Structure 1
Amino acid sequence: MELPAGLVRLAQPLALAVVTGRADPPFPRSRRLRIPIPASLRLLPFHAVDLIVVANLLAFWLVYSGGMGPLLGDGRLTPFYPGWWLSLATMASSVPVLLREHWPLTAWRIALAGVFVTAPIQDTLDGMGGLPVPLPAVVTYLLVVYSVAVRCERRITVGVWIVSMLVMALLSSGFDEIAMAAILLSVTALLGYNVRTRRLAASLLAEEERRSKGALTAQAALEERARIARELHDVVAHHMSVIAIQAEAVPLQAAGDAERLEEGLREIRALSLSAMTEMRRVLGVLRDEDGHTDTAPQPGLGRLEELVGTARSAGLTVTLSLGGDLTGLPTAASLSAYRIAQESLSNAMRHAPGSNVSMRIDRSIAELRIHVANDAGDALRHSPTKPGHTGHGLIGMRERVSMLGGRLWAGPVGTGFAITVILPIMEEA
């Protein structure tokens, strides 16, 4: 026979409270509730004083010494109750105060049993404050109900309240006592539930903040990877273009001359080592093997002559013109200008081999202007690739310029191609 649904819903919180319910783990405690002990005063192996533990010990002592402890020596009770009964009543009314921090439901169950043990003693003592049990036992009971409301889910708290009211109705001798018990239990349970709700909200907020920080960290890592990818693209594209052109041109230039062939191979080896060194430097900006940031300097416009010399050795005719003082530029602007010039020369090598390239870099007070233009070179005769095609290099340039808040124009000019970039010069913080 199935029980009615309403009866099942009523029985479930009662079963959770009395038998099957479990308390949630304690909430993280504020550091302000722990007072560090100076090393010179540490007589015991404790590094701090926990104020919650101190408060529970103090409450236990007050409950014990304020009413239940003296019962053991009360001569009026000796004819009616054996010593073990009085000891049991004393322990059931005070020990739950010590247990409520770690085992709130266990503490409540012991306190509930203590109510039945101390109620006859209260009758013998002829009442005490209009309550069916001694006042110290009432204090203990309210403390453990508060702990249950803070640490347990709502159904368990409701079950504890219902069981408590049933017990109070059973032991009380009048409506006034039942009403007083209902008020005390309701206020205590609502106070604990409110504290639980606020702590849960604070915990969820802290978790959300941790997730937000994790998301921001992941986003920063992705941005860093994208930056490294741009750097690697520029390094590899430029050096591999030069190496490929050199590897094709050296045998033709040597024409069987072993000495010229050896010299050309030395140049290719030097370019390969330079590419590997620069790639290691780019990757080192992220982390070295020990987890420390690499402080090796990134290339800037100070290495422009070296860059142009490499392009000339690959067969380009490069005319370089500089205007203004290019020293003392912010690192980001100098690095981006170098990479833009490097990518422009790489594009010319790939799509217009043997072309004439004019490069002009000017600096004003607030801007750095870069203009690179090349003609078709040998592309019209030997390459089916259109001069305006630049692959991913132009995308990388736009990303760099956008990152610095600059402007870029790129496109075919006559039979060649031209790129103009204007970067704002902003001093680093």
Structure 2
Amino acid sequence: MREHPIYDWLRRRPYVLDVGIAGALALWGFGIGSVLGSFLVGVGFIGLFSIPLIFRRTYPIASFTAISLACAVQLIVVDTWIPLDVGFLLSLYAVSAYATKQWARIGALVVGGLGAILGSIDWLGTTGSFLFSVGIMGALVAFSWTLGDLLRTRRAYVGELEERARRLEIERDQQAQIARAAERARIARELHDVVAHSLSVVIAQADGGLYAGSSDPGAARESLATIGATGRQALTEMRRLLGVLRNDGDSTVLAPQPSLGQVEELVGNLRGGGLAVSLEITGTPRPLPSGAELAAYRIVQEALTNTLKHAGPGAKAFVTLAYEPALLRVSVRDDGRGAAAANDGRGQGILGMRERVALYNGTFTAGPRAGGGFQVVAELSLLSLPAGGEKS
């Protein structure tokens, strides 16, 4: 709801309202000099009751104390109520609404109740109207204090809501940052798999083509063709991955993500690069969630890339995809040098494969085989994933 311009202006300048209230009270009590019998005494009372009201928000305890002392002086000097007594109710409201100390708020209520009793005694004595006067003034004191306490409670509630909204905004921004970081990590992992595999194939083909170039031009041309096809495939996948980072609204057509149906093509390309690879599929192949298929494909790709880089010449690789009711087991092993191969310490392949398997509550092992070679085994749990869906 839109606030009224005058209310909004006063809300942002509370001191103007307080000065106005103090001025209005001073004008209302301007004629009490005749009641008190002295103009100077009247002006003094006006100052004692009105000036502290200017500071009722910033110094509520001091303001209430000053006006309470003025009321005590009134009980001594005057035997009747005066219009300036309204200032006591205003200061009581202020200390209840703005004082941060609980003892000050409770003490102000007690002082108000005591003032109602002493004022009634001073003005009416102990006549029949005494109890009526105490009841009326006590009700005014209770009403003023309660109204201020309600305002303080509402202000605290609104402040808590604003703080909660601020925290939610911060949490939303943090979640967005975490999501962006996770997406960047995913893209980095995908790029690592694509680039590492493609460059390994390109290097192997280039070395083979260079070796066979002088004696077998046909083999060299075949190596060059494989290099070109591998490079184009890598470029297509890199464009697909980097396309998600674009924010210019282009309707770029992205190639589909690799799936287990392309494992045979992957194995064929590596065979063409000189790596002896066999593929075995057990169980009944069935449609799987696209994320699970991509994870399985990348595991095979990364494991064969490591074989190509580290297994050494003459090594053989064996890929097994085992479809079971509750899981998909992916096994890639070789009979090469395996863990004995040199390592530059910069590879992220094993870590990336482990992270992919963790997304599907699976298990992952990688290490040397008994008798030589290296083995990667990943089991992707498929119990909670409907065919063709994504993990939620």
Q: Same fold (TM over 0.5)?
A: yes
Q: Distance in 1 between matches of 2:278 and 2:293?
A: 20
Q: Distance in 1 between matches of 2:193 and 2:15?
A: 66
Picking from 171, 182, 191, the partner of 2:88 is 182
* Offset from partner CA, 1:233-289 (integer Å, 9 cap, x none): 111111111111111111112226556534432321221221121122123345454
* SS class of match (1:120): coil
8 Å CA contact 1:165–1:182 kept in 2: the answer is: yes
Counterpart check, 1:400 vs 2:360: no
* Offset from partner CA, 1:158-185 (integer Å, 9 cap, x none): 4655676678789995585677643443
* Equivalent position amino acid for 2:377 in 1: T
8 Å CA contact 1:371–1:418 kept in 2: the answer is: yes
| Worse-matched range after superposition: 279-288 or 226-235 | 279-288
Q: Distance in 1 between matches of 2:249 and 2:9?
A: 48
Supply the RMSD in Å over aligned alpha carbons. 3.8
* Equivalent position amino acid for 1:398 in 2: R
8 Å CA contact 1:287–1:293 kept in 2: the answer is: no
Q: Distance in 2 between matches of 1:110 and 1:168?
A: 21
Q: 1:320 to 1:106 in 2, by over 3 A?
A: same
Counterpart check, 1:251 vs 2:210: yes
1:114 offset after TM fit, Å? 2.4
**% same residue:** 31
Alignment gaps of 5+ in structure 1: 1-33, 35-49, 57-96, 126-131, 133-140
8 Å CA contact 2:328–2:381 kept in 1: the answer is: yes
Counterpart check, 1:373 vs 2:333: yes
TM-score, with structure 1 as normaliser: 0.62
Q: Which residue of 1 aligns with 2:108?
A: none
Q: 1:99 to 1:218 in 2, by over 3 A?
A: closer
1:300 offset after TM fit, Å? 1.1
1:211 offset after TM fit, Å? 1.6
TM-score, with structure 2 as normaliser: 0.68
Q: Which residue of 2 aligns with 1:28?
A: none
Q: What is the number of residues matched between the two proteins?
A: 313
Q: Distance in 2 between matches of 1:193 and 1:258?
A: 91
* Equivalent position amino acid for 2:287 in 1: G
- Correspondence list, 1:282-293, <5 A: 282-287=241-246, 289-290=248-249
Q: Which residue of 1 aligns with 2:376?
A: 419
Q: 1:200 to 1:161 in 2, by over 3 A?
A: farther
1:199 offset after TM fit, Å? 2.6
* Equivalent position amino acid for 1:412 in 2: P
* Offset from partner CA, 1:197-234 (integer Å, 9 cap, x none): 33323222222222222222222222222222211111
Q: Distance in 1 between matches of 2:353 and 2:375?
A: 13
1:370 offset after TM fit, Å? 0.9
* Offset from partner CA, 1:377-429 (integer Å, 9 cap, x none): xx59xx97269x99421111111111210011222112111111111112236
1:292 offset after TM fit, Å? 8.4
Picking from 273, 276, 285, the partner of 1:326 is 285
Q: Which residue of 2 aligns with 1:53?
A: 4
Q: Which residue of 2 aligns with 1:299?
A: 258
- Correspondence list, 1:248-287, <5 A: 248-255=207-214, 260-287=219-246
* Equivalent position amino acid for 2:14 in 1: P
